[in-house]
């Protein structure tokens, strides 16, 4: 069955541009071509693209998605490496959550100081100008 790029993208909930990009970086194999030179995809390509999209929806970076695909292709291999990739990703998510919670607390504290009035006496603007708590001493925490 011949499946063109648009059909593959639609069935996997993606775009043709994304499919071409994933082909360029090696996440999807280069497809065969029809006699009229259209890309020719298979059900396996739909499954592979759906796998990548699901990994991305879970927040995995493309490099990790590629690693997971490579491991998935090694059917008889031990899944310990998959566990390690997932564990590393979970730890990164947990670290981001902690940082976001810290930012949330800081913004709540800044907003609690707001008393309205003129910008010249705005406590939020004043707090944003005070970079002593940003951890780096640079403007904007850069």
Whichever domain contains 43, its CATH number is: 1.10.1660.10
The share of the chain scoring above pLDDT 90, in percent, equals: 64
Report yes or no on 71 lying in a domain: no
For the cut 60, the answer to whether the pLDDT of residue 69 exceeds it is yes
Residue 38 scores a pLDDT above 70: yes
The pLDDT of residue 135 is above 60: no
Last residue of a domain, one of 58, 84, 101: 58
Buried b or exposed e, range 47-81, using 16+ CB within 10 angstroms: ebbebbbebeeeebeeebbbbbbebeeeeeeeeee
Show the domain range for 44. Answer: 1-58
pLDDT digits (tens, 9 = 90+) for 72-128: 999 888 899 999 999 999 999 999 999 999 999 988 988 888 777 787 778 778 777
Do 97 and 139 lie in one domain? The reply is: yes
Boundary-marking domain end, from 58, 76, 100: 58
**Residue 63 belongs to some domain of the structure:** no
How many angstroms separate the CA atoms of 80 and 11, rounded? 31
pLDDT value of position 93? 96
Structure-block tokens of residue 137: 């001493």
Name the domain count of the chain.
2
Tallying the residues shown for the chain, one arrives at 142
Helices within 74-135 (DSSP H only): 80-112, 123-129
Q: Which of 13, 61, 8 is nearest to 38 (CA)?
A: 8
Which pLDDT does position 127 carry in this prediction?
A: 77
69 lies in some domain: no
- Domain membership of residue 141 (yes or no) is yes
Q: How far apart are CA 20 and CA 49, in angstroms?
A: 11
């Amino acid at each position: 069955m011949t499946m063109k790029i648009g059909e593959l993208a639609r069935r996997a909930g993606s775009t043709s541009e994304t499919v071409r990009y994933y082909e360029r970086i090696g996440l999807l194999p280069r497809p065969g071509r029809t006699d009229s030179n259209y890309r020719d995809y298979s059900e396996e390509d739909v499954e592979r693209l759906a796998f990548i999209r699901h990994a991305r929806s879970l927040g995995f970076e493309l490099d990790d998605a590629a690693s997971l695909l490579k491991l998935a292709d090694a059917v008889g291999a031990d899944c310990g490496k998959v566990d390690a990739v997932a564990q590393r990703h979970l730890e990164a998510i947990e670290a981001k959550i902690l940082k976001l919670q810290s930012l949330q607390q800081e913004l709540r504290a800044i907003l609690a100081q707001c008393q309205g009035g003129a910008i010249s006496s705005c406590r939020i603007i004043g707090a944003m100008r005070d970079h002593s708590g940003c951890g780096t001493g640079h403007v904007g925490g850069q």
